[in-house]
Amino acid sequence: MSTPLRLKELTNKEELLTGGHRLCAGCGAPIAVRQIFLALDVPVVASNATGCLEVSTTIYPYTAWKIPWIHSAFENAAATISGVEAMYKSLKRKGKIDRKIKFIAFGGDGGTYDIGLQSLSGAMERRHDIVYICYDNGAYMNTGIQRSSATPLGANTTTSPAGTVIPGKLQPRKNLTKIMAAHNIPYSAQASPHNWRDLMTKVRKAVEIDGPAFINIFAHCNRGWRTPTNTAIQDSRLAVETCFWPLYEYDNGRLTVNYKPKEKKPVTEFLKTQGRFKHLFRPGNEDLLREIQENVDREWNALLREEALQSSAESS
């Protein structure tokens, strides 16, 4: 049984991702990873896909990780941790290991939504007892801010440059959390580091489950988003308050929307904080702003309808 999430006790726990790494000041990824580790009450082994989190925390010969940690290629963090988990089960059957260990894979949206989707889908379908955590910063930030399938509609990236030819990325972002839920895994969720209690509760649920789990975490990137270095939590909160990034979970197939804003803000409140969207506020892009808002509204309303229909079915 996990210990309660009491802030005072959590601040006294050992940090398993140390300071001194070379991630950008204000990066959302290490904030999320520190919260993840503080939520854990069991030893873990992690694999990490190539990306910002990996290259900036393991500059040879140094490492910021105080756990067993494996660097995987861009595309196979889920396959790597699946193999480690399979070996662990084999050693337990042989009586060579008798303690509980959990297995976590970390990947950015490029290594999760795109390049690593095949190995992630396979690991989920095979029902490995792992937790896959995506830190979603909306582009291939480590290699030059190229668009990924997690990049929002209209965002300016180096491969979807806003200009006279196109107004930024032309396609809406992929809903990977829903795709993972469609694998019928025990647990799939979205979280944001601005709401540490919700994020850490979801991590504990995912780790305690016997079987595969997936958590998609909003990860601010001031370099790629063109924001100040001190707005990660503020912008994360706006993403949730505008319902651009809703907080929800599928627990054994049951959907729960974990947070419903009392007053849903227009998505422009989130977009206008970031330089990657500044072109959208110039004359001529009104239709694109309207489309972005319509997409957010449609997905949010679909979540609420699904939750309401489920509740209605359960009560009838």
Per-residue pLDDT of the chain (316 residues; tens, 9 = 90+): 567 788 888 888 999 999 999 999 999 999 999 999 999 999 999 999 999 999 999 999 999 999 999 999 999 999 999 999 999 999 999 999 999 999 999 999 999 999 999 999 999 999 999 999 999 999 999 999 999 999 999 999 999 999 999 999 999 999 999 999 999 999 999 999 999 999 999 999 999 999 999 999 999 999 999 999 999 999 999 999 999 999 999 999 999 999 999 999 999 999 999 999 999 999 999 999 999 999 999 999 999 999 999 999 988 7
Residue 298 dihedral angles phi and psi, to the nearest 5°: -65, -45
Q: Based on the structure, what is the number of domains in the chain?
A: 1
Residue 299 dihedral angles phi and psi, to the nearest 5°: -70, -40
Query: Tokens in use for 23?
Result: 């991630």
Residue type, 271: L
The one-character DSSP state at 298 is H
pTM greater than the 0.75 cutoff = yes
Q: Report the C-alpha gap between 206 and 216 in whole angstroms.
A: 12
Structural domain span for residue 129: 7-315
Is residue 1, in this structure, part of any structural domain at all?
no
Is residue 169, in this structure, part of any structural domain at all?
yes
The one-character DSSP state at 181 is H
Where is 72: in which H helix or E strand? strand 69-72
Is residue 233, in this structure, part of any structural domain at all?
yes
**pLDDT value at residue 172:** 97
Is residue 148, in this structure, part of any structural domain at all?
yes
Where is 188: in which H helix or E strand? strand 187-191
Residue keyed to tokens 């977009």: 271
Query: Tokens in use for 246?
Result: 């809703």
CATH number at residue 161: 3.40.50.970
Specify whether the CB–CB gap between 31 and 232 falls below 8 A: yes
Is residue 2, in this structure, part of any structural domain at all?
no
- Beta-carbon contacts of 216 under 8 Å, excluding residues fewer than 6 positions away, are 134, 136, 176, 177, 180, 189, 190, 191
221 CB burial (10 A radius; 0-12, 13-18, 19+)? buried
